[in-house]
């Protein structure tokens, strides 16, 4: 299913999330199973399926990583069940530094500052990747799309790091 078509968007990474939410509400009103309470059993099942598609589409398009994966899947690159890892040695080195820095939070003399620095570092890197990906994801070049796939892998890692940082912050405070 092409969720961009469902929500009447062009398949682009940059998306107006406010408009997405508005279209989601409109679609939900149109297909909500309660509207089909007096319909046949088949129509009720179809309404439930459509409502589920709308929910899945909304959740996919509102989440930047899932949106990027969906765009790639529409272009024939399915990353949903892959086990490929990032091979960028510079990123892998940076990844190790970030992990060590996360481990050092509890021993830091100023854990709040340490956490704040990591938040900025993670956010800056994530913004750079998203910017690069936004430029390449519309391409039909196989190499560009392979690069986008690698960027998605990096974003997934960054999301995990941000979750770990949030847990560390919660544990301290």
pLDDT digits (tens, 9 = 90+) for 17-55: 999 999 999 999 998 888 788 788 888 888 889 999 999
By CB neighbour count within 10 A (0-12 exposed, 13-18 middle, 19+ buried), where does 170 fall?
Answer: exposed
Q: Is 83 helix (H, G, I), strand (E, B) or coil?
A: coil
Which pLDDT does position 172 carry in this prediction?
83
pLDDT digits (tens, 9 = 90+) for 83-130: 777 888 999 999 999 999 999 998 889 999 999 999 999 999 999 999
pTM, two decimals, is 0.87
Q: Is 173 helix (H, G, I), strand (E, B) or coil?
A: coil
With CA atoms as reference, report the closest residue to 9 among 26, 23, 27, 29. 23
pLDDT category of residue 149 using cuts at 50, 70 and 90: very high
Alpha-carbon separation of residue 122 from 61, 128, 156, 161 (angstroms): 22, 10, 12, 8
Domain annotation for the chain: domains and CATH numbers: 3-62 (1.10.287.110), 89-172 (1.20.1280)
């Amino acid at each position: 299913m092409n969720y961009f078509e469902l929500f009447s968007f062009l398949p682009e990474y940059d998306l107006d999330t406010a408009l997405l939410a508005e279209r989601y509400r409109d679609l939900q009103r149109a297909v909500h199973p309660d509207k089909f309470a007096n319909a046949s059993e088949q129509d009720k099942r179809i309404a439930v399926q459509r409502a589920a598609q709308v929910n899945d589409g909304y959740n996919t398009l509102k989440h930047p990583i899932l949106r990027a994966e969906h765009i790639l899947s529409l272009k024939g690159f399915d990353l949903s069940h892959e086990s490929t890892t990032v091979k960028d040695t510079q990123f892998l080195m940076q990844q190790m530094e970030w992990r060590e820095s996360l481990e050092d939070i509890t021993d830091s003399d100023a854990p709040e500052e340490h956490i704040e620095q990591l938040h900025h570092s993670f956010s800056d890197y994530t913004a750079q990747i998203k910017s690069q990906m936004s430029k390449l994801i519309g391409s039909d070049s196989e190499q560009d799309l392979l690069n986008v796939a690698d960027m998605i892998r990096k974003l997934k890692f960054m999301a995990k790091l941000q979750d770990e940082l949030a847990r560390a912050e919660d544990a301290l405070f």
